[in-house]
């Protein structure tokens, strides 16, 4: 039995017994977790080991709860004094406070990328905050996001290899940091790279960083993109990194259909979604106040199959290296 099959088996067994615990017992378990973490941080114990243990404990607790019980535990965790320590981490704090109204803005992604632009933000944090950030920014999920950036850049460059004057569409582009990794952009092998986002501050960064290039920042909302509001033309590659993490199935299907419509024959659609195998899920939903819609392989295939006529496309679903992010690639058949 593989590790992933074993994990699936464990999750199945956990579902059998999770309802046997009362809410009070779960509260007691959560209190123990948070008190132990708070004491460890206050005592100056190894921060990396403490944070790693907390993430693991919260993951197991979340997995062992039904949805209603977990929803009642989240505000209890957020009110615990250990939050005063954890929120010193600039990554955790930015997600929790949501200065732009949502967690996954361009600055937060830059924190995950450990991008040079966030050096001053990290330096201004407390010593404990920097030590916690040194853990959260290299977690398995952080590494998966860093890998996702490389996968997106690789998809752009692969498109430029097969298509002259390639046209690229990025939906919810953030700061478009994958462009920094694109050899095709650096070599002038792209005709157009349209970068859509509803956050004008994200777009301002893109406009500043890529002034004078084929990158075109454009304000746009996903709902209006689905509705055909924008006259964008068509593309050889249309991709999005984090949008599906927030979309219910119906909207995910509608967006996928629209993206497939926007690519030329022979063009590709690529989208990513955090998977159900994410370990920091409990930490994200409590101290980062960042709930996501997690999907497994069957859930991604369900979106793909509900979105397209499989006779007209070639489709593939695959995981990133550590399986924290899952991807779908849909290629329109030529002719």
What ranges do the domains of the chain cover? 1-85, 87-138, 142-332
**Banded model confidence at residue 102, pLDDT cuts 50, 70, 90:** very high
Average pLDDT score over residue span 48-56: 97
Confidence of residue 3 (pLDDT cuts 50, 70, 90): very low
E-strand stretches of the chain: 166-171, 190-197, 215-219, 235-240, 263-274, 313-319, 325-332
Q: Is the pLDDT score of 16 beyond 80?
A: no
Class (C level, CATH) for 142-332: alpha beta
pLDDT at 10 over 60: no
Tell me which residue of 178, 172, 175, 176 sits closest to 151, measured CA to CA: 178
Tokens of 292: 């996501």
pLDDT digits (tens, 9 = 90+) for 244-269: 999 999 999 999 999 999 999 999 99
Q: What is the DSSP string of 26-75?
A: HHHHHHHHHHHHHHHHHTT--HHHHHHHHHHHHHHHHHTS-HHHHHHHHH
Per-residue pLDDT band for 19 (boundaries 50, 70, 90) equals: low
CA distances from 156 to 214, 238, 266 (A): 13, 9, 14
The pLDDT assigned to 4 comes to: 47
What pLDDT, on the 0 to 100 scale, is given for residue 11?
A: 47
125, 156 Cβ separation under 8 angstroms: no
- Burial class (CB within 10 angstroms; exposed 0-12, middle 13-18, buried 19+) of 216: middle
Rounded average pLDDT over 294-304 = 98
Look at 16-25, 33-42, 76-85, 134-143 and tell me which has the smallest mean pLDDT.
16-25
Q: Quick one: pLDDT at residue 334?
A: 87
State the pTM of this model: 0.92
Q: What is the sign, positive or negative, of the torsion defined by CA atoms of 133, 135, 140, 146?
A: positive
**Per-residue pLDDT tens digits for 305-319:** 999 999 999 999 999
The pLDDT of 101-116, averaged and rounded, is 97
What is the pLDDT averaged over residues 110-120? 98
pLDDT for position 20: 64
The whole-number average pLDDT for the span 152-160 is 98
Q: In what order do the strands lie in the sheet with 166-171?
A: 215-219, 190-197, 166-171, 235-240, 263-274, 325-332, 313-319
Average pLDDT over every residue of 173-201 = 98
The confidence score (pLDDT) of residue 21 equals 79
């Amino acid at each position: 039995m593989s590790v992933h099959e074993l994990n699936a088996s464990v999750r199945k067994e956990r579902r059998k017994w999770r309802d046997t615990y009362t809410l009070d017992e779960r509260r007691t378990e959560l209190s123990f977790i948070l008190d132990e973490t708070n004491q460890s941080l206050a005592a100056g114990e190894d921060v990396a080991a403490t944070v790693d243990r907390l993430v693991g404990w919260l993951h197991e607790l979340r997995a062992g709860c039904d949805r209603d019980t977990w929803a009642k535990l989240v505000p209890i965790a957020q009110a615990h004094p250990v939050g005063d320590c954890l929120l010193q981490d600039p990554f955790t704090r930015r997600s929790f406070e949501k200065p732009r109204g949502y967690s996954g803005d361009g600055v937060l992604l830059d924190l995950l990328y450990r991008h040079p632009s966030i050096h001053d933000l990290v330096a201004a944090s407390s010593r404990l905050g920097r030590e916690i950030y040194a853990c959260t920014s290299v977690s398995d999920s952080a590494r998966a996001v860093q890998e996702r950036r490389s996968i997106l850049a690789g998809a752009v460059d692969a498109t430029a290899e097969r298509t002259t004057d390639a046209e690229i569409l990025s939906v919810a582009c953030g700061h478009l940091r994958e462009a920094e990794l694109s050899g095709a952009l650096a070599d002038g092998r792209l005709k157009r790279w349209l970068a859509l986002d509803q956050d004008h501050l994200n777009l301002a960064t893109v406009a500043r960083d890529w002034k004078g290039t084929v990158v075109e920042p454009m304000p746009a909302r996903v709902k209006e993109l689905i509705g055909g509001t924008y006259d964008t033309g068509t593309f050889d590659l249309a991709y999005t990194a984090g949008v599906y993490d927030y979309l219910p199935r119906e909207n995910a299907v509608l967006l996928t259909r629209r993206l497939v419509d926007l690519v030329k024959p022979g063009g590709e659609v690529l989208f990513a979604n955090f998977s159900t195998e994410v370990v920091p899920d409990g930490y994200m939903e409590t101290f980062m106040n960042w709930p996501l819609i997690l999907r497994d392989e069957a859930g991604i295939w369900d979106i793909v199959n509900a979105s397209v006529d499989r006779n007209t496309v070639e489709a593939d679903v695959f995981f990133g290296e550590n399986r924290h992010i899952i991807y779908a690639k849909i290629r329109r058949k030529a002719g």
